[in-house]
Amino acid sequence: MLKRRPLGDHGLEVSEIGFGAWAFGGEWGEQSDKDSVGALHAALDAGVNLIDTAPGYGDGRSERVIAQVLASRTDHPLVATKTPPAPGPWPPSPYCRWQDRYSAAYLRENVQQRLQQLGTERIDLLQLHTWTRAWNEDPQPLLVLRRMKEEGKIRLVGVSAPEQDPNSVIPLMQTGLVDVVQVVFNLFQQEPAAELFAAAEESGTGVIVRVALDEGALTGKYKADHQFAETDFRRAYFAGDRMERTVKRVQAIADDVARFGLTERYHLADVALKFALSPSAVSSVVVGMRNVQQVSQNIATSSLPDLPEALLQVLQRHNWHRGVWYAGK
């Protein structure tokens, strides 16, 4: 049975395993729409009720596939999409002005595009795709989104926290400007545990975790010499010696799990997802699922017992400060 958790204090419950639809756009290697449609139907049939996407995933392709699937169904999962900043540094630099990246006119035009792509009159969750603490003193973009919420075009307002500075969104949570935050949290990147999760519980903010499997590395299926296809963004993410370094650290995690005698019951992917779900502040962990088999594997994790507290304590030692890998080597 796929468990559900509250999405902050907004009166909604979401499946603790959510559907990450980045791969639908083709940036994870070749992806057929047939496989995408089959995977999403299988996930929804299994009880998944949170789908995360963005216009940058295949120039709207991911959103269009989702709209196609939902048009053929009677259930109504919560669909979270994003508005990227206007062209400029990613993540935004400390010198970027919100007026240049998230102007009111730009936001309104982009939200209208999201409505059209998803074939809906209201976006369930609209997230700014990135942020910088440079805008915290004058967070006008979020005020624009909240006005659009009052107008009925958006149900919930969110922000996807920059991976190099997740705590930058804490003031936005404390002042009630955002309903939901999305953060990177996994066995390697544990910074949200320092402050963000406590702030979320105190403010009633929903928390969506992304990259729980570290772009697939924490499944343990890759060897040190693995090479990704030219069309797969992970070719840059794991450039140079990064995969070799990562595999060594994944093996250390596997050794810890083995010492607790859990290898037979938990795959490494299960351990990674259970770790990401362990903070009580986490509402859902969105996982990329490209086919029906991956859906079955990830959904099954929800029915496993939680990891022993003693193991969770041991796994904290794998926290790894490694900078922003998304920019490439």
Q: Round to whole Å and give the CA distance between 42 and 36.
A: 10
Q: How far apart, in whole angstroms, are the C-alpha atoms of residue 49 and residue 87?
A: 32
CA distance 176 to 154: 16
Please say whether the dihedral angle defined by the alpha carbons of residues 198, 199, 205 and 206, taken in this order, is positive or negative. Answer: negative
Tokens of 311: 């193991």
**Pairing outcome for strands 78-83 and 123-128:** parallel
Q: For residue 128, give the amino acid letter.
A: L
Dihedral pair phi/psi, residue 194, rounded to 5° = -70, -50
Closest among 133, 160, 169, 180 to 56, alpha carbons compared: 160
Position of tokens 């995360």?
52
Sign of CA dihedral 114, 115, 119, 120: positive
Task: Report the distance separating Cα 96 and Cα 252, nearest Å.
Answer: 40
User: Do the Cβ atoms of 269 and 301 come closer than 8 Å?
Assistant: yes
Which of these, 276, 254, 280, 277, lies nearest to 267 by C-alpha position?
254
- DSSP symbol at 232: B
Joined tokens for residue 28: 């994870």
Catalytic annotation, pick one of 57, 102, 222, 266 = 57
User: What is the three-state SS of 6-37?
Assistant: ECCCCCCEEECEEEECHHHHCEEECCCHHHHH
Q: Are 307 and 275 in contact (CB under 8 A)?
A: yes
Query: Does residue 57 have an active-site annotation?
Result: yes
Catalytic residues: 57
